[in-house]
Amino acid sequence: MRLIDSLCETLTRALGLLTISPWNQDTRLQQPVGPSQVQEPHQALETLFPSTKPLNSQEGGISLQYEKLPVGDPPKVILPDGPIFAPPNARPGFVCNYTAMKGWRHTAGVGMRNAWLEKPIGDEDATGGIYNIFTNYDRFAPIGTVRKYHLNVTDQVINADGIIRNDGGKVFNGQYPGPWIEACWGDWVEITVENHLQYNGTTVHWHGVRMLNAFEHDGVNAITQCPIAPGDQFTYKFRVTQYGTSWYHSHYSLQYADGLAGPITFHGPSSADYDVALEPFLFSDWSHNSAFEDYGLELRKPPVAMKTVILNGKGFYNCSNNPNPDCEALKIDPPSIFEQVFERGRKYLLRLINTSTASTFIFSIDKHILQVVAMDFVAIEPYYADSILVGIGQRYHVIVEARPSNDLIPVEDQNYWIRITGANGCFDVEPNQANEKLGIIRYNSGSTKTPTSTRYNFNTDCADEPYESLVPVVPMDVTARDRPANDIHQDTGDNFEVGIELPDENYTVPHGNFTRWDILDTPMWLNFSDPTIDHIGDYAWGTNETAMITENFSKDEWVYIIITGQGTPKQVSEGKREFLPVAHPMHLHGHDFVLLSQQTRPFHPDDLTNGTFKYDNPPRRDVALLPRNGYMAIGFRVDNPGIWILHCHIAWHASSGLALQIRENEHEIQLTPQFVKEKDRVCENWKTWFANESNWWTAHEFQEDSGI
């Protein structure tokens, strides 16, 4: 929750900070950088990624890109190879490698975290250039290196909260959360996923990553690929054109809720200064059953409650609050709670990620103010808050100064709770298990005391961070204003209602007598063995009701999508379609969308022209909360050909069908023959595995949900 400005000023003075936005006024910068000094680097993404040479090209990688460096007179002074350096708090041994950028140097460091790479000033032969927080990363990226990762997907017992979960646990590389995937801005990433699950195929999605000209590596089951069959593997490849924090997770049915999720960091600049960056903070609701089992219960009222809340895979289930006599029998020692030692006066960068199945959370640290510097993969002008609401799939970077507001207590006694608090109405954990005290900040590493600190008195409304607080540092103005390229007239055009299908008493729909969420009138239901990628350009194929076609628009044109929780109840084949007052975290693949409007009331077409829509540098991100009983309007430039999904990130809702395919300029998609061969191989393996019913988990029919 944003602090009101006057309070903010008082606090920042109290905290000894000079300014609310130190990033553009900080006199400590050795090499001040500002918008007026930004020179356009010469590696435009268009030339790095001509559509005839997509990322998956076998000739791709450094050598191809290197040839595209401008050819000119050789410099009089031979410059050393490009910079290699360790970014703040990377894992040991990890370095950013810009060897290909001869003559450039890494300029960031404490006191100038908004910088990244530049050519030395005074080198007259250098063509000049700079990569920093003001660089238009939508168009430019530095030339990094190729990074290869390997993820093994296995079934595994997980102990996250003291109750052994031996049912349905699934992990990457034997751990939950999965291993931290790190890369640097401008790198090429190749991740090989090996599936060793017994009963499931799998696919892995790189949440929020733009996947420029690489939709075929987006990892969405039954859309961009067939599942990777047990025993098979597939290598995902993409270019890092953004920087910040995100997560990767299975996009095969409900698997991520069973443990298939892990953090991603793309190292790059920051819009405010910090001394130390900490490893990502993943928080989530948690169940003791497989999500595949809970799902059946979830679709019948009332919704199934998750068991606990966990931070970085650690929580505590309190058996004394649980009437179940089996509780003590199942109980083992919970993992030790997350702890972090702060050194007084230092500033820490925290990377927050909500990886929940069904819960929106509010992150806070008692007596510590948060300086918010990035939302999703977009750096923002810093603002201060006492807490921050993180919807499912959303991320924030926050900087915390180790200077608690009750500073009179001797340092050796200072311990503070890190809290992960459920947002009111968007939170689905057993009421007596919703322990929000999930971590401890200590000022004395030897202390073992339980904190006695109290929570800030923030409100717990289920609403995104204040719209006006979220101002991207790299501005993007929506040039289409009130004239998008597509038709958004209510009831006739691209205006999408989120509703729920409530089956009639006696009606048995083909896939169970369940309530089903959807966007438009048809819940998504995909055929795992017949993905959309095999029907590129064939818009008549599949269920038009679950696809939006944005074909023949130019890269500079804007498409808007109005998503509303309002509509007129009506009878559909399964029963009644109704509209419930539920907030949905809506996520779009393949684009950072602009959030043109987010209202707690119904949409009206006049909103485009009466000042309600914001066209000048609106918030830009990849997940936003559709307000309960309200609407949200998003827009994107039609600049990334592919098949992208727009879906609710409540896992139950996406599974039940609340998703839409955006089929964007498919005529521009070019898959290399090598990729097509590999895609088809994976699909044939899947079909062979699937055809043998003895491979299935026999307790159920195989497909129970949309597939995503």
DSSP E strands in 551-667: the ranges are 558-564, 570-572, 575-578, 584-588, 593-599, 620-621, 623-626, 631-637, 642-648, 659-664
- Whichever of 421 and 656 has its CB closer to Cu ion, that residue is 656
The answer to whether the beta carbons of residues 12 and 384 sit under 8 Å apart is: yes
Rounded least distance, CB 517 to Cu ion, Å = 6
The type of residue at 535 is H
Which residues sit opposite 389 in a β-bridge? 362
3-state secondary structure of 277: strand
Closest distance between Cu ion and the C-beta of residue 614, in Å? 24
- Using CB under 5 A, count the residues that bind Cu ion: 4
Counting every residue written for the chain, the total comes to 708
Could you tell me the two tokens for 252?
């095969």
Closer to Cu ion by CB, 614 or 653: give it.
Answer: 653
Structure tokens at 474: 């790299």
β-partners of residue 499 are 518
Q: How far is the CB of 211 from Cu ion (least distance, A)?
A: 23
Indicate the residue among 309 and 583 with the shorter CB distance to Cu ion: 583
Q: Of 416, 346, 426, which Cα lies nearest the Cα of 389?
A: 426
Applying the rule CB under 5 A, the residues between 124 and 163 that interact with Cu ion are: none
In the complex, what is the shortest distance from the CB of residue 285 to Cu ion, in angstroms, rounded to a whole number? 14
CB of 298 to Cu ion, least distance (A): 12
Part of the chain binding Cu ion (CB under 5 A), chosen from 218-226, 246-254, 576-584, 634-642? 576-584
Q: Which residues of 441-473 are buried (b: 16+ CB within 10 A; e: fewer)?
A: bbbeeebeeebebebbebebebbbbebebbbbb
Q: Which is closer to Cu ion, CB of 391 or CB of 484?
A: 391
Question: Cα separations (Å) of 172 from 149, 196, 208, 415?
Answer: 12, 10, 19, 33
Shortest distance in whole angstroms from residue 654 CB to Cu ion:
7
Nearer to Cu ion, 288 or 584 (CB): 584
| Site stretch for Cu ion (CB under 5 A), options 102-110, 304-312, 438-446, 584-592 | 584-592
Q: x/- site string to Cu ion, residues 638 to 657, per CB under 5 A? A: ----------x-x--x----
Choice between 101 and 500, CB closer to Cu ion: 500
Decide if 244 contacts 266 (C-beta within 8 A): yes
Give the position of tokens 């005290």: 437
Looking at the Cβ atoms of 419 and 653, the one nearer to Cu ion is 653
* CA dist., res. 635 & res. 620, Å (int): 9
Compute the least distance from the CB of residue 424 to Cu ion, in Å: 16
Query: What minimum distance in Å lies between the beta carbon of 299 and Cu ion?
Result: 13
User: Which residues have C-beta within 8 Å of that of residue 618, sequence separation ≥ 6?
Assistant: 478, 594, 595, 596
Q: What would the two tokens of residue 481 be?
A: 């204003």
Looking at the Cβ atoms of 298 and 386, the one nearer to Cu ion is 298
Distance (Å) of CA 335 to CA 42, 316, 317, 511: 50, 8, 11, 39
Distances (CA, A) of 66 to 40, 76, 82, 497, 604: 18, 21, 12, 47, 50
Smallest CA-to-CA distance from 684 within 50, 197, 229, 13 is with 229
Would you count residue 584 as binding Cu ion (CB under 5 A)? yes
446: Cα within 13 Å, side-chain hemisphere = 2
Looking at the Cβ atoms of 55 and 563, the one nearer to Cu ion is: 563
Closest distance to Cu ion from the beta carbon of 647 (Å):
8
Rounded to the nearest whole angstrom, what is the least distance from the CB of residue 653 to Cu ion in the complex? 3
Q: How far is CA 339 from the centre of its chain?
A: 24
Binding region for Cu ion (CB under 5 A) out of 7-15, 375-383, 428-436, 582-590 = 582-590
As measured in angstroms, the least distance from the Cβ of 495 to Cu ion is 18
Using CB under 5 A, which of the segments 123-131, 430-438, 580-588, 691-699 binds Cu ion?
Answer: 580-588
Q: How far is the CB of 195 from Cu ion (least distance, A)?
A: 28
Binding segment (CB under 5 A) for Cu ion, from list 110-118, 430-438, 581-589, 698-706: 581-589
| Listed ranges 48-56, 134-142, 532-540, 583-591: which one lies at the site for Cu ion (CB under 5 A) | 583-591
| Closest approach of Cu ion to the CB of residue 172, in Å | 25
Nearest CB to Cu ion, comparing residues 500 and 682: 500
Residue 375: enclosing H or E segment and its boundaries? strand 370-375
Which CB atom, from 653 or from 663, has the smaller least distance to Cu ion?
Answer: 653
Q: Smaller CB distance to Cu ion: residue 395 or 584?
A: 584
Q: Least distance to Cu ion from the beta carbon of 512, Å?
A: 19
- The DSSP call for residue 101 is S
Nearer to Cu ion, 229 or 582 (CB): 582
Q: Measured from the CB atom, is 258 or 518 closer to Cu ion? A: 518
Non-local CB neighbours of 135 within 8 Å, separated by 6+ positions = 38, 41, 116, 474
Tell me: does residue 2 bind Cu ion (CB under 5 A): no
Alpha-carbon distance of 479 to 500, in angstroms, equals: 35
Shortest CB 131 distance to Cu ion, Å: 37
**Residue 437 or 584 with smaller CB distance to Cu ion:** 584
Asked if omega into 466 is within 30° of 0 (cis), the reply is no
Distance (Å, whole) CA 637 – CA 554: 9
List phi, psi (to 5°) of 689. -65, -45
Sign of torsion over alpha carbons 91, 21, 637, 98: negative
708 belongs to the binding site for Cu ion (CB under 5 A): no
Residue closer to Cu ion (CB basis): 190 or 497: 497
Could you say which DSSP state residue 675 is in? Answer: H
Q: Which stretch binds Cu ion (CB under 5 A): 307-315, 323-331, 577-585, 592-600?
A: 577-585
CA distance 647 to 706: 11
Least distance in angstroms from the C-beta of 568 to Cu ion: 20
Contacts with Cu ion, residue ranges (CB under 5 A): 584, 648, 650, 653
